[in-house]
Amino acid sequence: MFKEALKRSWEKDRRRPGRADDGTDGIAVDKFFSDAGREANLDVAAAEFTSLVRSASRTGMICP
């Protein structure tokens, strides 16, 4: 279900290597990657990015 929506979104802008919908734990709910996206290991990049967002969120909560 989500994969079709991600693919349609990607088809509107094929300059991107793919689309993913990740949870706050860094695990992908669903994803669609082009060949370039699979080669670039975007799963790992998405998990790292999620970790950075969580850290920034916690920092923002501590220091208003």
CA distances to 10, 22, 45, 54, 63 from 39, in Å: 17, 19, 12, 26, 39
pLDDT of 63 reads 52
pLDDT of 64 reads 52
- Which of the residues in the chain have pLDDT under 70? 1, 26, 60-64
Q: Which helix (H) or strand (E) holds 5?
A: helix 2-12
Domain ranges in the chain are 2-62
